[in-house]
Chain A
Amino acid sequence: MKKRQFCAISKCILIVKSINNAVIFLLLPILLICVFTKNVYAAGQSIRVSPIINDLQLTPGETTILNLSVENLSDSPLGIHAEISGFDETGQNISTDRHSSALTKWTDIPTPDIILDPLSQKSISVNIAPPKDAKQNGYYETIFLSPVISSKKEPANPIVLTRIGVIVLGTIGKLNYDDLAKKVSVEDFKPEKYVFNNSEAVLNFSVENKYFTHFTAKPFVTIKPLFGQEKTTLLEEKRVLPGTNKAWKFQTALGKNIFFKAKLAVSVGSGNQVFAETWFVALPFRHTVEIIILAVTVLIAILARKRIKKAIATLFGKTSD
């Protein structure tokens, strides 16, 4: 009897084990796929931050909350420290370290230090509270997120650290695109030279912003040959901060035409555009023309050599009998 019971129990155990094995056999590949499809960075640092460019409409006297999602993509825990920094507003320069900005005084990060488990994500809240008397203007800052690594007090090797900058572009005041278009100007829209020797032209220009806040400049350059079809090219869009300018360099192939008109339309948003025009000449065969002119001159000189000799003689007061 006991033997029978033992056999039944053994069979049950065997069945359960088989089911377990089957389940493991089925689940293992799924588990492996899940593990290996995610980018995992061992021994280093890897973080993902979103959003990194924040165009915010701010209201005086009201708090705007910006939630930054920070994800640790490495297989070890990671401390993150958030730090408020200023912003370099010098236009072409995109550096972002510790320049004074009114926005930094209005910004608070209640929990600037967080610890992220491996492959986990958390949010860092950034509170921006402009005072009630904050003036209509564009306000800018950078929030740096730095992974914190545990290191010895006396490091034996150079340590490598990272920081990710999150850009905050704030505006107080209502943006009026008609007024904006009047405050934006195109500067120095002209070719690098007015006569190009080859079949490629280079045009330069910059866009200056005298409005109270930033905007995105979207330039369209149209090249129209004297004979032939015009061609419009959309260039890279760039944000132009107030009181600054940004520059573009446009290089284009010209084809077989000689005279060209270039039209620039810079969109400032909502269909409003600022325009400029210039012209240039392309002589890809200029050297050939020069050689032909020289050859013709020489030929004329040979054919009219007697007359030329006579003219020279007359010039120097010698007369032939």
Chain B
Amino acid sequence: MLKISYNFIVKAKINLLIGLFAYLLISSIFAQSVSAGPASTNFELQEYSFGAGGTDTSMNSTNFKMFGTVGEVESGRPFSANYKAGSGLIYTLKLNVPPAPTLSNPATNYDRLKFVVNQGGNESDATYAIAISTDNFVSDMKYIKADKTVGATLTTSDFKTYADWGAADGVFVTTLRSGTTYYVRAKARLANFTETEWGPISIGVATSNSSLTFSLDSTSIVFSDLNAGNSFTDANKSTVMTTSTNAYNGYTVYGRENQALKTLDNFTIPNYTGTNSVPTSWAGTGFGYTTNDSSLGGTGGLNRFADATKYAGFITAGPGEIVADHSGPVQDPTISNEQFVVSYRVTVDATTPAGTYSNIILYTIVPVY
């Protein structure tokens, strides 16, 4: 009884194994035929369901291997020197690699350049990080931070939207070195797991050097002879100052004199009593000046010279007092041939000794730092 049972069990096991092998064989044959995908003479895509990975046997030829599902790429640029069509599910989630940002120096700036992000077909909620380099990304690579300065590290907060980066107008990246060529590139991302590779590199654009051009139309003031015929007054002489500069914070012109108008015999025409902070309509005698700068810095109000109708006397202490200026920011455009006129007036009385009166008037221009 026991012997029969043992044989029965052994046979049953053998039959079961044969059955299993047969099932596996048949199912493998049928499985292959069921999963057979699109095919041509040379290719057959064996695994093509959504998200399917695949191996190097999935789809290959001598020159070609397909490792996963085909990703979506922007139309018209599946592959070039700068782009590639990434395949696989992860690439379908990724944003388009943004083309090179447009880098420019529109106003000969020396410490900043303007860049405009190119979206590359991404939606408006995509964010972009910008890398910047002085050697075309050979060994130097820094990042444009959220505050538009240059930093050594890239953080999540440095990814900003197209609108944040100034949209089509772009923004200036600051804290750059003067006289240096820079390159930029961008990458995009949207939430997690979507960050692209760095895109192509922009053309190199150089910052300028800071510069200042200052011109005076004349190196002397030739007053008319003062006599009863002109009421001992000449108010028709002036100095025209012309300035060009790319100094971001603008410039200031200070005026002073070495002494009051004086003859060799030490007779003097005193300075007019009005001051730079409180100029006055002309009254009395003296030598004074006025300026047509209606937004003058310093104390006393912007248009305190009332469009060149109020006067002050020069001082002798350095650096002098503000007679013309241009406050910052000077970014785009920079200052080009800006003119201010300082006009002079001298009035004496009949008792002033006759003689040749002279002094030196010094205009000092400094960029505001």
Interface residues of A (CB under 8 A from B): 39, 41, 43-54, 69, 73-74, 94-98, 142, 144, 149, 154-165, 167, 169, 177, 216, 218, 220, 236-239, 265, 267, 269-271, 273
B175 at the interface (CB under 8 A from A): yes
A269 touches B110 (CB 8 A): no
CA distance A163 to B255 in the complex (A): 10
Q: Which among A44, A156, A165 is the interface contact of B358 at CB below 8 angstroms?
A: A156
B75 at the interface (CB under 8 A from A): no
A47-B215, A94-B369, A164-B214 given; 7 more Cβ-contact pairs under 8 Å: A45-B214, A49-B211, A51-B211, A52-B212, A158-B223, A160-B216, A218-B149
A237 touches B214 (CB 8 A): no
Give the residue name and chain of the B residue nearest to A155 (CB). Answer: B358
Contact partners of B358 in chain A: CB under 8 A: 155-159
Given contacts A270-B150, A270-B151, contact A163 B216 (CB under 8 A): no
B362 touches A50 (CB 8 A): no
Distance of A266 from chain B, by nearest CB (Å) = 9
Q: Which residues of B from 232 to 271 have beta carbons under 8 Å from A?
A: 239, 242, 244-245, 247-249, 252, 254, 257, 261, 264
Q: Which among A74, A220, A236 is the interface contact of B328 at CB below 8 angstroms?
A: A236
SS of B interface (majority): loop
Contact partners of B174 in chain A: CB under 8 A: 216, 218, 237
For the complex of A and B, 7 pairs with smallest distance between CB atoms: A271-B145, A165-B366, A46-B215, A50-B211, A97-B318, A267-B147, A270-B151
CA distance A95 to B135 in the complex (A): 38
Contact partners of B352 in chain A: CB under 8 A: none
B367 at the interface (CB under 8 A from A): yes
Contact partners of B261 in chain A: CB under 8 A: 158
Contact partners of B356 in chain A: CB under 8 A: 154, 156
B219 at the interface (CB under 8 A from A): yes
Contact partners of A43 in chain B: CB under 8 A: 217-219
B210 touches A50 (CB 8 A): yes
B116 at the interface (CB under 8 A from A): no
What mask results when residues 320 to 359 of chain B are scored 1 for a CB within 8 Å of chain A, else 0?
0000000011000000010000001000000000001111
CA distance A216 to B222 in the complex (A): 45
A41 touches B215 (CB 8 A): yes
A sample of 16 cross-chain residue pairs with beta-carbon separation below 8 angstroms, ordered by A number, consists of A41-B217, A46-B216, A47-B213, A48-B212, A48-B213, A51-B210, A53-B110, A97-B319, A157-B358, A158-B261, A159-B219, A162-B216, A165-B366, A237-B328, A271-B151, A273-B147
A94 touches B219 (CB 8 A): no
A160 touches B215 (CB 8 A): no
Contact partners of B221 in chain A: CB under 8 A: 157-158, 160
Contact partners of B107 in chain A: CB under 8 A: none
Q: Which among B145, B222, B248 is the interface contact of A157 at CB below 8 angstroms?
A: B222
Interface residues of B (CB under 8 A from A): 110, 145-153, 155, 158, 174-175, 178-179, 209-223, 239, 242, 244-245, 247-249, 252, 254, 257, 261, 264, 318-319, 328-329, 337, 344, 356-369
Distance of A233 from chain B, by nearest CB (Å) = 12
B147 touches A49 (CB 8 A): no
Contact partners of B151 in chain A: CB under 8 A: 177, 269-271
Distance of B272 from chain A, by nearest CB (Å) = 14
CA distance A84 to B359 in the complex (A): 24
Distance of B130 from chain A, by nearest CB (Å) = 12
CA distance A154 to B174 in the complex (A): 51
Contact partners of B212 in chain A: CB under 8 A: 48-50, 52, 164
Given contacts A51-B110, A164-B365, A271-B158, contact A95 B319 (CB under 8 A): yes
Contact partners of B149 in chain A: CB under 8 A: 218, 267, 269-271
Distance of A74 from chain B, by nearest CB (Å) = 8
Given contacts A51-B210, A149-B219, A271-B151, contact A96 B366 (CB under 8 A): yes
B367 touches A270 (CB 8 A): no
A158 touches B359 (CB 8 A): yes
A216 touches B110 (CB 8 A): no
A237 touches B215 (CB 8 A): no
Contact partners of B247 in chain A: CB under 8 A: 52-53
CA distance A45 to B329 in the complex (A): 27
CA distance A8 to B364 in the complex (A): 67
B249 touches A163 (CB 8 A): no
Q: Which among A44, A52, A159 is the interface contact of B217 at CB below 8 angstroms?
A: A44
CA distance A268 to B337 in the complex (A): 33
Distance of B148 from chain A, by nearest CB (Å) = 8
B364 touches A238 (CB 8 A): no
Distance of B323 from chain A, by nearest CB (Å) = 12
Contact partners of B328 in chain A: CB under 8 A: 236-238
Distance of A295 from chain B, by nearest CB (Å) = 40
Q: Which among B150, B152, B178 is the interface contact of A51 at CB below 8 angstroms?
A: B178
